[in-house]
Amino acid sequence: MSQIEYTNVMDTPNPSGSDAGLSGSSLLSDIDTPADLRLLELQDLPALAQELRDFLIDSVSKTGGHLAAGLGTVELTIALHYVFNTPDDRLVWDVGHQTYPHKILTGRRDALHTIRQSGGLCGFPTRDESEFDTFGVGHSSTSISAALGMAAAAAEQKISREVIAVIGDGAMSAGMAFEALNNGGELDANLLVILNDNEMSISSNVGGMSNYLARIMSGRTYSKARQGSKSILSRMGPMWKLAKRTEEHMKGMIMPGTLFEELGFNYIGPIDGHDINTLVKTLQNMQQLEGPRFLHVITRKGKGYAPAEADPCTYHGVSPFDIETGESIKPPSAVPGYSSIFGQWLCDMAEQDERLAGITPAMSEGSGMVEFSERFPDRYYDVGIAEQHAVTFAAGMAVDGMKPVVAIYSTFLQRAYDQLIHDVALQNLPVVFAIDRAGLVGADGPTHAGAFDLSFLRCIPNMTIMAPSDGNECRKMLTTAYGMETPAAVRYPRGSGPAVEIGPDLDQIEIGKANVRREGRHIAILAFGSMVHTALEAAEELNASVIDMRFVKPLDETLILKLALENDLLVTLEENTIKGGAGSAVAEFLAASQVVTPLLQLGLPDEFIEHGDTATLHAECGLDPAGVTKAIRNVLPANLARSTEYA
């Protein structure tokens, strides 16, 4: 592969034409806080932006992490911290993929090499990490609501402060964002919302004229004239209505802000998000205004790194890579991942049944749906970042004869819980939920962990829940779920499972039937999904029986009763919180059956598990073979503990 274009700031003339800050040391190395940043001259900022971009590329190439989004917000991040008095002024980021530049400028530059690693920096803003991280994020479309709450709190306490929410165009598509905008306009809150438009421009009016108009309309003269005419004309009834309509019409002709104006925001933009001079001057102007303000900024994901600009989706989240070639350093897994297995099953089933429809809330690539979208475009629905809508949309399709399959991450299904209960389960509709990223997700941390789905799903009537122990089981369970006429969920972890042969057939399994994987003595481990192979390793040392439970709901109650009568200890093992999970289901059944057999429940503890290497996190939670073995030995009945068989 030929080398890609990569330019280092030290090899490039100073864009400002000045040598300030570049003689002897870099600008970036002297910035430990935004207060240091604000000591720079405006003409130094383009050079700083280049340094920051180079530093980001170099660091992420070694650690992996989110890259393209951060590259697109370098200039915006600098401008925000340059203009506003952070952290006293509140800066709220949406999702957080774009915040690596923010972390670098707020005292965490020298720790960026630890990002997403055990004990290192979190990949998202978190309040425990820095006072500059004003609100913990990870899920989409929360920034405007949180910032509005902060603005309301400041108003109640009579604190003079700017509150700024930065949200992307994808996140803006979610209903929650518009709920917050509607409320913000109604409250007349002192709030600045910045739309970072980096994918699908609302308007093409970007360039010199647009930047000029934005600066004029954000300035004091225009604002005073606007407010003055509003004060006078508002007393004149029909004249005010005419003037208002005229203003909206004129704005609508040259810029796309009519919608936001109708919601009560003073819309400015769109402007070039990589023109740092325009950014700073526009923000300075808007800083002087009060009330709800909306700035529309156009940026480019992956800006400054050719491979990321060409393919921002691939470089959204990356493993360590070679800067010169753009190629990943990590060798690809020989075992297909669960997302890939789901994607292949989806295509195979779609060939067999034209009623199948595939639905995703903006996670096509991550969920393995790219091939399906290309082969069956008429039956592929990407509804955007709108999990609630995705679930009810699927329910509507199911009502009228389609067989919808909703591909969704466990952590994002939480956002559609009401719709899951009210619109799908209550009506007992045949919607299949392919739940990806169940259990711990490693570097993405607690905001993305699928730690609760078994707990919140199993309490819902009409719901069937399956957990595969490998890729072949996953394919069979998806087929089984699809064949049902009631709601069904198949939850599987991130990445790959054990190396097994995956058959091409669309076979089903018996509903509610577990599979005995190992015959032992005295101890029976009831393992669910990803924990089956951990149980098998532990069982070798303990001579325990291992059961691949397959189903969380309905349980194989006949087998559980048999095992309870034949063994001295039952152990449940799951990659879900212990509270209310699969083990709790077993305990409830035993109690209802009035069967008294010692039961040990192993799973994720009652706490949020931080980011890090997945294997390390499993070990820390006692969910590796050694941890499972130790936990079982600690509770063995006295007669077994003394046995040489378990010594």
The residues annotated as belonging to the active site are 301, 387, 415
The answer to whether 27 and 19 are in contact (CB under 8 A) is no
Instruction: Give dist(CA 151, CA 135) in Å, integer.
Output: 13
Q: Is the dihedral of CA 5, 10, 13, 17 positive or negative?
A: positive
Q: What is the residue-wise DSSP string for 331-344?
A: PPPSSPBHHHHHHH
The answer, yes or no, to whether the previous bond of 554 is cis (omega within 30 of 0) is yes
Q: How many residues does the chain have?
A: 647
> What are the phi and psi torsion angles at 404 (to 5°)?
-80, 140
Q: How far is CA 387 from CA 21, 177, 383, 451, 576, in A?
A: 47, 13, 8, 18, 21
Q: Round to the nearest angstrom and report the end-to-end CA distance of the chain.
A: 57
Torsion on CA atoms 421, 426, 428, 431, rounded to nearest 10: -20
> What's the rounded Cα separation, in Å, for the pair 556 and 538?
22
For residues 183 and 36, what is the distance between their CA atoms, to the nearest angstrom?
Answer: 36
Q: Nearest 5°: phi and psi at 515? A: -130, 120
Neighbour-count burial of 300, counting CB atoms closer than 10 A to its CB (0-12 exposed, 13-18 middle, 19+ buried)? middle
What gap in Å lies between CA 400 and CA 397, rounded to an integer? 5
E strand or H helix at 272, and its extent? strand 266-272
Backbone angles phi, psi at 639, to 5 degrees: -65, -30
Of 274, 579, 640, 544, the C-alpha closest to 451 is 579
Which amino acid, 373?
S
* Closest alpha carbon to 629 in 498, 569, 539: 539
Short-list 131, 129, 81, CA closest to 102:
81
> With contact defined as beta carbons under 8 Å apart, do 401 and 355 qualify?
yes
Rounded to whole angstroms, the Cα distance separating 314 from 222 reads: 43
Side chain identity at residue 467, one-letter code: A
Give the strand pairing for 545-548 and 515-518.
Answer: antiparallel
Chain center to CA of 332: 23
DSSP type of residue 105: I
